[in-house]
């Protein structure tokens, strides 16, 4: 039996009390925790009526799997970019290739944004003034709007880095602002704040592209942490695509990837794309399927125990030939910096943030890689 099969078997043997303890320490986002708690309540009711039912076992495995993922766990300390440079000088002979790799990685960790412009949207004056005070105290430039319509006008006329919006606001509400922002200003991040929190609205907001979802009353520490994370992601994603090591030597690619991971203090994952034949192997099968299971990408993240590994995908140029399904679209969900913060494995059915992952793909000939994958690659000849 494979790793997931054995793991799922162990999860299905958990008691409800053990499951509650796992959930309490899982560090899940608020919306995912609500979903898991709701599923647990439904499962407890099912156990009372029909203990040992297959639906009960399926729910046990699913909730346990959610709790086992490294939602906010980071393996990384401060990256040793000087160490990376030393490795590259020793093992990569072409100066241009060394420079490309080092500039790419340096851009990911460079914290160089100054006074970002934040649009705060709330139809309650006191809430608007409170949020403005908190953010200006942290030296952010704040633009305010008392309605969804005013917010859309401000987006048109101001260079906004981050939108913080209330959910319930008359005709144009927070979800409409998310849609407007993501569709017309894809580089701008959105955080939603609401006092009307439900699992459905939280999941909907994240699927639409919101960076985070915060419940009222707002805790200052949570707000500022989310703002900092959203801006860091915005600026890092604006500087990078995905590294592609091009060349015939598989062993050299893997060896270099491992050494870079060590210097950056990251877990290292290596996965051969030639092993992937169908979409479900990459992005999972939904829980209604008989052989429901997560895809390899999210399960490798679970096994690594960190949300920010260095993840090497081998053979991007040849894998599509044997793949049944839309190979490019499936991988773009994980690799594209504009999409992967809301990567949704079909088994999980909730977004998991892959933006902290350093993806490196390999190819013998990058010209054979399909678009749009080819368009997001920074190709380095080795």
pLDDT tens readout for residues 30-65? 889 999 999 898 888 876 655 566 787 888 899 999
Residue 52, pLDDT score: 61
Question: If DSSP states are collapsed to H, E and C, what string results for the chain?
Answer: CCHHHHHHHHHCCCCHHHHHHHHHCCCCCHHHHHHHHHHHHHHHHHHHHCCCCHHHHHHHHHHHHHHHCCCCCCCCCCCCHHHHHHHHHHHCCCHHHHHHHHHHHHHHHCCCCCCCEEEEECCCHHHHHHHHHHHHHCCCEEEEECCHHHHHHHHHHCCCCEEEEECCCCCCCHHHHHHHHHHHCCCCEEEEEECCCCHHHHHHHHHHCCCEEEECCCCHHHHHHHHHHHHHHHHHHHHCCEEEEECCCHHHHHHHHHHHHHHCCCCEEEEEHHHCCEHHHHHCECCCCCCCECCHHHHHHHHHCCCCCEEEEECCCCHHHHCECCHHHHHHHHHCCCCHHHECCCCCCCCECCCCCEEEEEECCHHHCCCCHHHHEEEEEC
User: Token match 């990078």: residue?
Assistant: 240
Q: For residues 134 and 281, what is the distance between their CA atoms, to the nearest angstrom?
A: 45
pLDDT of residue 1: 40
| Tens digits of residue pLDDT in 94-132 | 888 988 898 788 777 754 445 789 999 999 999 999 999
Burial class (CB in 10 A: 0-12, 13-18, 19+), 284: buried
pLDDT in tens, 228-273: 888 877 765 544 579 999 999 999 999 999 999 999 999 999 999 9
Please tell me the predicted confidence (pLDDT) of residue 265. 92
CA pair distance 64, 52, nearest whole angstrom: 16
Distances (CA, A) of 63 to 189, 204, 213, 372: 29, 20, 21, 35
Query: With contact defined as beta carbons under 8 Å apart, do 174 and 145 qualify?
Result: no
List 243's β-bridge partners, or say none: 360, 378
pTM over 0.75: no
Return d(Cα 300, Cα 79) in angstroms, integer. Answer: 22
Domains, in order of start, for the chain: 3-68 (no CATH), 81-110+241-381 (3.40.50.300), 117-237 (3.40.50.2300)
Contact 217, 244 (CB under 8 A): no
Angstrom distance (rounded) from CA 334 to CA 283: 9
Among the listed ranges 257-261, 280-284, 319-323, which one has the minimum average pLDDT value? 319-323
Torsion-angle region of 150 (φ positive above 0: left; ψ -120 to 50: alpha; else: beta):
alpha
- Residue 120 CB neighbours (<10 A): 26
Q: Is 115 left (phi over 0), alpha (psi -120 to 50) or beta?
A: left
CA-to-CA dists, residue 133 to 140, 145, 219, 316, 358, angstroms: 10, 14, 14, 49, 36
What pLDDT shows up at residue 113? Answer: 40
């Amino acid at each position: 039996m494979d790793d997931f099969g054995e793991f799922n078997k162990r999860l299905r043997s958990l008691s409800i009390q053990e499951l509650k303890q796992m959930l309490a320490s899982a560090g899940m986002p608020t919306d995912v925790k609500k979903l898991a708690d709701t599923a647990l309540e439904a499962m407890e009711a099912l156990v009372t009526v029909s203990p040992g039912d297959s639906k009960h076992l399926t729910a046990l495995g699913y909730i346990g799997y959610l709790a086992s993922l490294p939602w906010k766990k980071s393996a990384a300390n401060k990256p040793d970019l000087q160490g990376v440079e030393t490795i590259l000088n020793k093992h990569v002979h072409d100066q241009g290739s060394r420079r490309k790799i080092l500039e790419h990685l340096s851009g990911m960790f460079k914290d160089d944004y100054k006074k970002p412009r934040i649009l705060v949207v709330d139809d309650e004056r006191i809430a608007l003034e409170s949020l403005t005070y908190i953010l200006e105290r942290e030296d952010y430039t704040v633009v305010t709007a008392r309605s969804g319509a005013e917010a859309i006008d401000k987006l048109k006329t101001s260079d906004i880095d981050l939108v913080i919006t209330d959910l319930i606001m008359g005709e144009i509400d927070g979800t409409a602002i998310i849609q407007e922002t993501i569709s017309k200003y894809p580089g701008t991040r959105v955080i939603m704040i609401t006092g009307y929190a439900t699992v459905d609205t939280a999941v909907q907001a994240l699927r639409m592209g919101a960076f985070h979802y915060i419940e009222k009353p707002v805790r200052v520490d949570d707000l500022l942490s989310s703002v900092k994370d959203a801006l860091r992601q915005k600026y890092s994603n604006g500087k990078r695509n995905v590294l592609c090591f091009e060349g015939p030597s598989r062993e050299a690619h893997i060896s270099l990837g491992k050494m870079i991971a060590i210097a950056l203090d990251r877990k290292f994952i290596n996965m051969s794309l030639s092993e992937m034949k169908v979409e479900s192997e990459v992005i999972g099968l939904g829980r209604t399927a008989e052989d429901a299971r997560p895809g390899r990408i999210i399960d490798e993240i679970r096994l690594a125990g960190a949300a920010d590994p260095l993840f090497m995908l081998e053979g991007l140029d040849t894998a599509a030939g044997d793949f049944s399904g839309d190979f490019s679209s499936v991988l773009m969900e994980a690799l594209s910096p504009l999409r992967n913060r809301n990567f949704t494995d079909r088994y999980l059915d909730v977004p998991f943030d892959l933006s902290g992952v350093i993806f490196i793909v390999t190819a013998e000939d990058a010209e054979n890689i399909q678009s749009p994958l080819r368009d997001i690659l920074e190709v380095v000849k080795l």
